[in-house]
């Protein structure tokens, strides 16, 4: 971010200047921003050079640095923090805005999600020419996009529904019937998707159906890939080339990579930052691994209030040794105890990995614990 901070100090309008003349895709949501942005950049690269903030610095300084680093790129794939989307869109006038999901994040740092939804909705209203690629399985993102004149609806999945039990527009109950949902208060319901996916294929407009075999794990990443492909195709990418490009993505700023730890272990590193993200990350864990290390810190970027740990379902680890780690490993150990998960407590994450039986270890870490681990591994 340092280059962006210096540039913004010299000229507060620099973001708008750097965004001129580019066709930009803005990607936002509580979870999956970095992964979807990485996939979108890969898909857009089939059309030409792309400017992108690949390391996930998703506020103004990071965006300025990313755009300044690629002055000749006429395309941009930009991960943007949810609360920054309105003024970033005012500056760069994106061609496409991708709305992934909205769920509760660290309340002591971020704020209430209904306020975020209203802020996004108001921001989108100022850019009626933009195509909005929105997840119709997410009630809050559907509400944000519902009034926009150009929406591409994607059934990208919505496994976490605990933060959208009431309608963001009327306050009445949201009723769920299988994949469909609707509000009991007003005419507000799940739109019919233009794009969707299954276990083997991605499906799109006009009967499009292409095989999609991703390198990245998890159903959630199939949803991320589908939104990335939809965004790239909106800007003119060939669907088959876009699918091939997103399928080849195998690492996102250190996430999902498998690395050796000493001579006795390999470790796959997963990042999770809030209850919805933890639910998805836990679903990716290899239950046949030699061990699982869960590392939790409570610094400002993580949220200093860790009460959200009690909303995460840590049960069902009967067959694999679990180690609680991180600066707030004791808090996690208490939660695991109440979940009935047998575990040990080793605060240092590297030492926790080495404490597991020889073999492959799955490591789940929240934000600063993830960064600390990557520095230790690097």
**What residues act catalytically?**
305
Residue in 224, 236, 93, 256 with CA at minimum distance from that of residue 157: 224
Residue-by-residue DSSP string for 262-322:
TTTEEEEEEE--SHHHHHHHHHH--TTSSEEEEE---SGGG-S--GGGGGS-----TTS-E
Q: What SS3 state is found at 95?
A: coil
Q: Are 65 and 12 in contact (CB under 8 A)?
A: no
Residue 204: phi and psi, rounded to 5, are -140, -170
Residue in 299, 249, 239, 302 with CA at minimum distance from that of residue 271: 302
Tokens read off for 343: 């575990």
Q: Are 148 and 128 in contact (CB under 8 A)?
A: yes
Would you mind telling me the total number of residues written for the chain in this entry? 378
Instruction: Report how far apart, in Å, the C-alpha atoms of 247 and of each of 13, 39, 172, 250 are.
Output: 37, 8, 40, 8
- Distance (Å, whole) CA 35 – CA 78: 11
Residue in 263, 269, 266, 250 with CA at minimum distance from that of residue 374: 269
- Distance (Å, whole) CA 174 – CA 358: 48
């Amino acid at each position: 971010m340092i280059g962006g901070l210096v540039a913004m100090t010299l000229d507060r309008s620099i973001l708008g200047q750097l965004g001129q003349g580019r066709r930009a895709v803005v990607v936002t949501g509580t979870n999956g921003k970095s992964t979807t942005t990485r996939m979108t950049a890969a898909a857009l690269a089939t059309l030409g050079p792309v400017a992108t903030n690949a390391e996930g610095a998703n506020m103004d300084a990071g965006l300025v640095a990313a755009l300044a680093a690629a002055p000749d790129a006429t395309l941009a794939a930009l991960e943007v923090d949810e609360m920054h989307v309105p003024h970033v869109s005012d500056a760069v006038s994106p061609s496409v805005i991708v709305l992934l999901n909205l769920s509760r994040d660290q309340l002591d740092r971020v704020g209430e999600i209904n306020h975020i939804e209203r802020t996004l909705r108001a921001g989108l209203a100022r850019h009626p020419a933009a195509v909005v690629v929105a997840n119709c399985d997410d009630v809050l993102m559907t509400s944000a996009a519902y009034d926009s004149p150009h929406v591409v609806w994607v059934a990208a999945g919505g496994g976490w529904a605990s933060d959208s039990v009431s309608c963001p527009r009327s306050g009445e109950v949201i009723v769920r019937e299988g994949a469909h949902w609707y509000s009991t208060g007003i005419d507000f319901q799940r739109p019919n998707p233009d794009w969707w996916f299954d276990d083997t294929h991605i499906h799109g407009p006009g009967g499009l159906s292409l095989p999609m075999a991703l390198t990245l794990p998890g159903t959630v990443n199939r949803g991320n890939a589908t939104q990335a492909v939809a965004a790239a195709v909106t800007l003119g990418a060939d669907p088959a080339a876009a699918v091939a490009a997103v399928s080849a993505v195998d690492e996102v700023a250190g996430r999902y990579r498998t690395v050796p730890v000493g001579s006795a272990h390999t470790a796959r590193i997963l990042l999770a930052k809030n209850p919805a993200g933890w639910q998805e990350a836990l679903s990716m864990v290899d239950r046949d691994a030699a061990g699982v290390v869960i590392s939790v810190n409570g610094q400002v970027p993580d949220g200093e209030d860790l009460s959200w740990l009690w909303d995460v379902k840590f049960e069902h680890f009967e067959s694999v040794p679990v180690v609680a780690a991180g600066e707030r490993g004791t808090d996690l150990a208490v939660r695991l105890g109440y979940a009935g998960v047998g575990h040990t407590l080793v605060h240092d994450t590297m030492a926790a990995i080495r404490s597991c039986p020889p073999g492959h270890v799955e490591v789940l870490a929240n934000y600063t614990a993830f960064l600390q681990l990557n520095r230790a591994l690097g």
